[in-house]
Every structure is written in structure tokens, then in C-alpha cells.
Structure 1
Amino acid sequence: MDIKLNDKENSRKELEATLTYEELTPYFEKAVEKYRKKVSIPGFRKGKAPLNMIRKLYGEGIEYSAVEDIAGEVFYKYITENNLDVISKGAITDIDYKPKEKLDFKIEFDVMPDVKIDKYKGLKLKKQTNKIDDSLVNDEINYHKFRSATYEIDGVASDDDYLITVDLQNLDESGNILIGQSQKDLKVYLGNPEIYPEFKEGMKGIKEGETRIIDSKNAEGEPKKVQISCTKVEKIIYPEMNSGFFKTVTGKDDLKTEEEFRAEIRNELQKIYDGISERQLKSDVVNEMIKENDIPAPERYIDVILDSMVEDYKSRYKGKKIPADFIEADFRNERRVDAIIQAKWYLIRDKIIEMEKIEADEESYRKIAEEFSGKFNIPADKLMEAYKDNEDIKMRILNDKVMDIIINNAELEEILELRTKEDSGEV
């Protein structure tokens, strides 16, 4: 067999091969045997006709039909034996079979480029550290109290701890009803800080069955009148701050005092905001590494990542209808920049894995298994064995190890951020 690998543009390769008829014969024999199993010839049971008869009747046609499969088999064997990191499956660009003589073919395909990393140590990075303010803890506790609250019918909304139900009707300047501009059974929590001041003031002390007119402004800042008719007034009854409530919120039954509960809430908020900071730091690492190591990403690799993004999106609707406004071409265009960033980062990351000889070790698998053991209710040891066969878990471990090397060798500036209730919208 005469076979050679030709370099094309960028990371594209061309496998060029010639097989003699003698080298083709074993492949053809397998093709004949395969064909015999499905052909019916009068006088013989299906799949039992003599091979010589099959060759005589269909031999040349079988050979022509088999040459593309043979080319694919030779291609796969070559890339496997030579450890080529192939991106694309490969496409036959030329194939020529001369019966009883030889087979010539060419297959083009893309491989991962061998990139050069100029810098991955000594990056200048900023890491945000977080201090949880009491106001954020209070806001989180109040949120859970509100979620667990009960309601008691009352006649008048005497303070902010009320939920009122109103019918809303827009009026013109003369106080006449504007047809089609109304809302019924609108529930309003009077303690909501997002309520417009004029509405908050206008609904103070409102009674069930009472109608009021509030002077407000429309989206353009022009004056408008709104008529509100209160149909229900409910007093919000908050739960007691006891161990039962603490367990409802946290799932833990060892919290006995309000101080312990507040400490637990603070600890969970700390984890959340530290996680946000960690993800931001890793995002900054990716951006800085791409900036310091400007490497081209093969178009085919970008397409592969976009394919994965499309499949991921569609998988969210498994068993359901994909939204009618989903247009794959538009989706690919919108996500293309993200795909390019991912492609460049993966190439950089994989090169660092090679340079640093990084491996997914036993301890790393155990750490992830212990992290998810409780969530899936599976013993960590069993989960760890399953994870060892999971390529995604392996790449997560390797990715984290690369991140650790870059961050641990960076010039890291820590910036303290006080997290207050104004930040609660982030989580």
C-alpha cells in the first residue's frame, strides 16, 4: 500500500493512498460475504448461495460499491495508528477504481493545530473577594419569611405588611374610563420597594370596597389618572423564627437559635458570591490567555463547537416542541463569537495540559464524587467509578487543573467588595 499525508492550508490535511488489487482482495471478500447474507438466488436459501456464484453474478458491482467503505476503513486505521487528533470525519475528494488493478483515493480532513503558547504564567489578574453585609442577610431572611407567610383577611391596610387585591382602570384627564385599559385582580404587596411612590402613598390605609383615584405619569412622563378599586385586604402573618422555620429554609435540623440561622444564611450567601467571583476570575483567565496567545482557531473546529451548542439548545426541549421562532442559522450567527472564544481556549488549554503533563488523578475524581454524592444520593465510591469513564468529568478536572496553574502563577490583585441588599438581584 502506498500512502502519504499531504499538508494543505491551515490545519487541513490530505491522505493520498493507492491499494493494489491484491491488497484490495481481503476487503472485497468481506464485501462479498456481507452481500451473500442479504441476496436471494433461486434454488438456494437466502444467504446460502455459494460465494463463487455471488462473485460471478455480482462481483464487479460489489467491488465498485465497496471502494468508498474501503477508503474510509484505510483512513480510520491510518489516523488511529498515527495518533492524529482529527476534528472532522474526512471527505473523499477523489476516488478512482480500476477493476483488477488498483484503487486510488484522496481524503481531506482537519486536525487540531499544534499551537505555541507564549505566556501562561505571570498574568495580571483581579480577584474579587466578598464581605456579606447584614443588610443582605436581613433581605434574604425577609424573602424566606415572605415565601412562608400566611394571610389573614382584614378590613384595612394599616401598614406595609399587607397584600391587597385591586382592579385597575386608566382614566382620561376628565376622569372618564379609557376602554381596554384595565386590569382585574391585581395583587399588590405594599412593602414592595419597587412600587411607584405615588401608588404607595395613594394606597395607604385603603379599605376593602374602597375606590381611589391616583395621579401618576405614563411612560412618556405625561400626567395620567388611575382608578383603583380594592376588592380584598389581607394581613401578612410571618412565620415564627424557630427551628421549624430554620429547617424549612435550610434543610438542616440542627439550627436552634436565630444567631445560628443568620450565620447559616450568611455562609450560604458567602458561597454564592464567592462562586460568582470564581466564575468571573476564570472568565478573565480565558480572555487574558487569548489576548496573550493570539492563535487561529480552525473553521471546522468552530463549526464543531457550534454544532454542540445547537444540540445542547435542542436537548432542553427533549420531548417538547422547539420554539417556533428558533432559526438555526440565526442561532449560529449569534453564538459564533462565543464558539471562537471556546475554540481558542480549548486549544490553549490542551497545549498546557500537554506541556505540564497534567492528568486526571484518583484524588480529583474522588473530590468531584464527594461533591455530588449527596445530590444524587449515590455513594461516593460508586459515583467515582462511573465518573472515571466520563469524558466530560475528565475534561472538567483537567480544565480546573489548568486554571489552578494559571491563577497560582498570576499576579493576583484582590479587591474587597461589600455585598449589600442592593446586590441581591445578582443571585
Structure 2
Amino acid sequence: MNVTKNQIDDLNATIKIQLDKDDYATRVSDALKDYQKKAVIDGFRKGKTPFGIIKKMYGKAVLIEEINKLIGESLSNYIQENDLNILGEPLPSETEQKELNLDEESFEFVYDIALSPAMNVKLSKREKVPYYIIKVDDEMIDKQIESICKSNGELTPVDTIEGSEYVKGELIELGEDGKPKEGGIHVEDASLSVEHMKDEEQVKVFTGKQAGNEVIFNPSKAYPNKTDYAALLQISKEEAEHVTSDFCFIISEIKRYVEAEVNQALFDKVYGEGNVKSVEEFRARVKEDLAKQFKAHSEYRLTVDARDKMLKKNEDVVLPEAFLKRWMLATNKELTQEAVDKDFDSYRDEFKWQLIKGDMIKENNIKVEDEDMKVVGREVAAAQLQQYGLYGLSDEQLDGFAVRLLENEKQRASLYDRALENKIFSVIKEGVKLEEQEISMEDFGKLFEK
């Protein structure tokens, strides 16, 4: 075997692989022998088909398969051994690849490769990147406290339905005569939400009612969503499609969701017993939590601006665009030449960004350890739990969630990528001057409209 590289220009080259019979003959023979052991062919016992027949039947297919494997290995080894930094993957040459004749014993393969240009990843404190700090104002704190009160409320028994209650009772299907329908639907432990009824007339018949009262209503009008309707009747959606009767609901229990009050009980529930002892302390902790949440927004915006900064530093770097377009079309059958040409400006930036990241990793010897992924796992877990009103959890409390994320292979890969990007952006933050700017949430949102 002979492997050579022909440099076309700074960004393009070809790799030529010349194979002789000695390079592939043993591999092909071994593969055919393996076929022989497994082959079941009429007139012969399994594994006893003569080798000549196996070769005649499968010889060319096996030859192609083994040569393809050998070519793939040879390309990969050559690229690694010669430390070639390539873009995309090698593609069969459109101009130099000769038509193969499988009856010959020697073969020549020519592949086009694209070489990565050197990127400018040097950083200086003379370079400035904006860092936006979102101002936490009283209105934000008030809204957050309102949200906390809503998420920490509870169902409380009440005497009378006013329109937002949850009601339990007995549900009985009625016939056209207004009496219980023989063989009709009968749910002894039914429960419904008056608040979620979609028909005002149905809400009115419940309003003012108390436990022990009977209500005649039409649940198919009250709950046009068939999933909710079927759940109330405790039947399938398909069955619910055909039920339009009136029902009698005998009320046994009425509860109303009451938001939590801003008091010591709420402080203890949200932040742990005794950690917050006054409204002022509570507002301060809420403000601190909001600042932490907004810091994640600030950090994300920094990644946008830092990426733009690095791309700007490398705007004059030329890529092997003709090859990249070919490679994109070859590896994504859903793409068209028209789509690639139309959107290549954004593709170009993404290719450059990947090269910048790669050079930064090498230049700064960036590595991701398990603890780095665990830190990101904590951040992901904290963000998810805050959606359910859980704030102020310690690293020790979050570790359990982070460990479970790391046990999932897909999640682990995602955490690795995020941890790697975090380290890359940390290098950028350390290498440039961050210009801190306080900004309102409204103006911060406008940054993404540009």
C-alpha cells in the first residue's frame, strides 16, 4: 500500500491510496471463509459449501466491502499520523478518481480533503466585550413573590362555590326525562374544577351551591376538551365522543385553592426553617435568587457577544467553501444546493466558530473533568426545580439530581458539551476586558431583536 498527499493550495489537498493484491487478499480470503462457515446453500450442509462456489457467489461483494474498510482505516491512520487538521470528512475526488475495474488486482483511490486554516485565538485586555447586569427592581420582586405565593398555596375547604373551586361528589347520567338513565354513567367519586369550565352557563349553575346540593349540568359543554371530559366521566375519549347527556352532580365537598400568605410559614417552607425571619429578609432573598437567575441570562448574552467578538477577529480567514458545500450535500440528503448557497453565511460562521473552539482548546489545554460536568448538572437541576417553586437548595441537595443526569448517556454528553463551552468562555472572559453595564430587563430583551 502506498499513501501520498498532494497539496493543491493552503486549504485543499488530495490523498491518494494505491492498493496491491497483497494489501487486501488475506482480508478477503478470511471474510470468504467466514461466509463459508455460515452459508446455507441448497445441496450442501451448513458450512460445507466448497470455497470456489462461495467465492463465485460472494467474491466481488466481499472484495468491495473489505477494500472499503481498508480505505477507511488507511485514511484515518494517515490523517492522524500526519496530524492533519481537516474540515469535514474526505470525499472521493470528482476529478482524479478513476473508474474501478474489479477484475484488476491493483486499485487507486483519490480523496479530496479540506485543511483547517489557522484561527486567531490570541486575547488581549485591550479587547472589550460587554457584560450586561440585569437590574432587579421592586416590581420584579413583587411579581416573583406573587408567583411563590401561588405555587405554595393549598386547597382549603369552603362552604360555597364562587367560580374557582374544586368540587367532589357523585355524578349521575340523566335520561331525556331528567331522571337517572338506566345503565348510564355513574361515578361515585367524581371531581371537577369549576374554574376550568369553558361554558359560562355551566359555571352559573354551580355558583352559590353548597355541599349536599344537586346540580343539573351538561359536562360536554362545560369541558369541550375530550381528554378532560373523558377523565371526568372516567371513560375513554372514544366513548366520550358519543355522550352528550345532562348529568346530576351531588356535591359532597368544596375546596378552593388559596394562595400562601407572606408570613413565617412561607419563609420556612421556601428557604428552610429559621433561615428567613422577616418580610425584609424574604424580599432580600427573593432579590438574590432573581439576580442568580438573571446572571444566567447575562452569561448567555456574554457567550453571544464573545462569539461575535471572536468571529470578528477572524472575519478575513478564508475557508475551503467549495469543498464544505460538497461535504454538506454529501452528508445531509435533505439539503439542496439552493438551500446551502442561500444559508452559507450562517454555516460559514458556525464552521469558523468550531475551528476557533478547537484552537482555543489546544492553545489553552482545556480539559473537562467529571466535577466540571457535575457543576453544570447542578445548574440544570436548580433551574428545573425553580420552575416548581423550589429555591435556595444547597450544592449537597442538588448533587443527587446532578448525579442522576450524569448517569444518562445522552444527558452526560450534553453536560460535557456545556462544560466544555463554559471553559472556553471562561478563557475568553479572563483574556479580555469585560465592560459591565447595568440594564433593565426590557432593554436586555431588545438586545436579541437586533
TM-score (norm 2): 0.58
Task: Pick from 339, 350, 365 the counterpart of residue 342 of structure 1.
Answer: 350
Change (3 A) 1:296 1:149: farther
> Could you tell me whether the CA contact under 8 Å between 2:91 and 2:327 is conserved in 1?
no
Change (3 A) 1:133 1:406: same
> Could you tell me whether the CA contact under 8 Å between 1:127 and 1:412 is conserved in 2?
yes
Please report how far the alpha carbon of residue 387 of structure 1 lies from its aligned counterpart in structure 2 after TM superposition: 8.4
Please report how far the alpha carbon of residue 42 of structure 1 lies from its aligned counterpart in structure 2 after TM superposition: 4.3
Partner Cα distance (1:141, 1:306) in 2: 52
Are residue 241 (structure 1) and residue 262 (structure 2) matched? yes
Change (3 A) 1:334 1:268: farther
**Equivalence for 2:308:** 287
Q: Match of 2:400, SS?
A: coil
Please report how far the alpha carbon of residue 47 of structure 1 lies from its aligned counterpart in structure 2 after TM superposition: 3.3
> Could you tell me whether the CA contact under 8 Å between 1:32 and 1:62 is conserved in 2?
yes
> Could you tell me whether the CA contact under 8 Å between 2:121 and 2:356 is conserved in 1?
no
**Equivalence for 1:116:** 119
Which residue identity lines up with residue 408 of structure 1 in the other structure? E
Query: Can you give the 5+ residue segments of structure 2 that lack an aligned partner in the other structure?
Result: 164-194, 202-255, 386-397
Partner Cα distance (1:391, 1:139) in 2: 36
Partner Cα distance (1:388, 1:154) in 2: 48
Task: Pick from 92, 105, 109 the counterpart of residue 101 of structure 1.
Answer: 105
Please report how far the alpha carbon of residue 290 of structure 1 lies from its aligned counterpart in structure 2 after TM superposition: 0.9
Are residue 356 (structure 1) and residue 356 (structure 2) matched? no
Partner Cα distance (1:271, 1:59) in 2: 66
> Could you tell me whether the CA contact under 8 Å between 1:129 and 1:417 is conserved in 2?
yes
Structure with higher strand content: 1
Partner Cα distance (1:149, 1:334) in 2: 55
Partner Cα distance (1:305, 1:71) in 2: 21
Are residue 49 (structure 1) and residue 53 (structure 2) matched? no
**Equivalence for 1:221:** none
Partner Cα distance (1:423, 1:149) in 2: 35
1:113-132: CA deviations, max 9, x gaps? 03231643231122222442
Are residue 140 (structure 1) and residue 144 (structure 2) matched? yes
Q: Match of 1:127, SS?
A: strand
Task: Pick from 402, 426, 432 the counterpart of residue 404 of structure 1.
Answer: 426
Q: Match of 2:261, SS?
A: coil
Change (3 A) 1:84 1:383: farther
Query: After superposition, where does 1:263-302 map in structure 2 within 5 Å?
Result: 263-294=284-315, 295-299=317-321
Partner Cα distance (1:114, 1:418) in 2: 41
> Could you tell me whether the CA contact under 8 Å between 2:117 and 2:318 is conserved in 1?
no
> Could you tell me whether the CA contact under 8 Å between 1:121 and 1:406 is conserved in 2?
no
Which residue identity lines up with residue 6 of structure 2 in the other structure? N
Change (3 A) 1:73 1:328: closer
Query: Can you give the 5+ residue segments of structure 1 that lack an aligned partner in the other structure?
Result: 156-164, 166-182, 187-234, 312-326
Are residue 260 (structure 1) and residue 263 (structure 2) matched? no
**Equivalence for 1:26:** 26
Change (3 A) 1:39 1:90: farther
Partner Cα distance (2:344, 2:329) in 1: 7
**Equivalence for 1:222:** none
Q: Match of 1:96, SS?
A: coil
Q: Match of 2:100, SS?
A: strand
**Equivalence for 1:367:** 375
Please report how far the alpha carbon of residue 291 of structure 1 lies from its aligned counterpart in structure 2 after TM superposition: 0.9
Q: Match of 2:17, SS?
A: strand
> Could you tell me whether the CA contact under 8 Å between 2:381 and 2:402 is conserved in 1?
yes
Partner Cα distance (2:347, 2:286) in 1: 37
Q: CA RMSD in A?
A: 4.8
Please report how far the alpha carbon of residue 343 of structure 1 lies from its aligned counterpart in structure 2 after TM superposition: 2.2
Change (3 A) 1:132 1:328: same
Partner Cα distance (1:338, 1:417) in 2: 29
Partner Cα distance (2:61, 2:353) in 1: 48
Please report how far the alpha carbon of residue 55 of structure 1 lies from its aligned counterpart in structure 2 after TM superposition: 3.6
Q: Match of 1:132, SS?
A: coil
Partner Cα distance (1:352, 1:276) in 2: 24
Q: Match of 2:429, SS?
A: helix
Change (3 A) 1:350 1:130: same
> Could you tell me whether the CA contact under 8 Å between 2:117 and 2:319 is conserved in 1?
no
Partner Cα distance (1:283, 1:272) in 2: 18
Which residue identity lines up with residue 351 of structure 1 in the other structure? D
Please report how far the alpha carbon of residue 153 of structure 1 lies from its aligned counterpart in structure 2 after TM superposition: 6.3
**Equivalence for 2:71:** 71
> Could you tell me whether the CA contact under 8 Å between 2:24 and 2:66 is conserved in 1?
no
Change (3 A) 1:395 1:379: closer
Q: Match of 1:416, SS?
A: strand
Partner Cα distance (2:271, 2:341) in 1: 44
Q: Match of 1:348, SS?
A: helix
Change (3 A) 1:245 1:425: farther
Q: Match of 1:44, SS?
A: coil
Please report how far the alpha carbon of residue 287 of structure 1 lies from its aligned counterpart in structure 2 after TM superposition: 0.6
Q: Match of 1:116, SS?
A: coil
Partner Cα distance (2:446, 2:162) in 1: 32
**Equivalence for 2:3:** 3
**Equivalence for 1:160:** none
Q: Match of 1:90, SS?
A: strand
Change (3 A) 1:369 1:27: same
Partner Cα distance (2:259, 2:403) in 1: 43
Partner Cα distance (1:302, 1:258) in 2: 61
Partner Cα distance (2:149, 2:76) in 1: 62
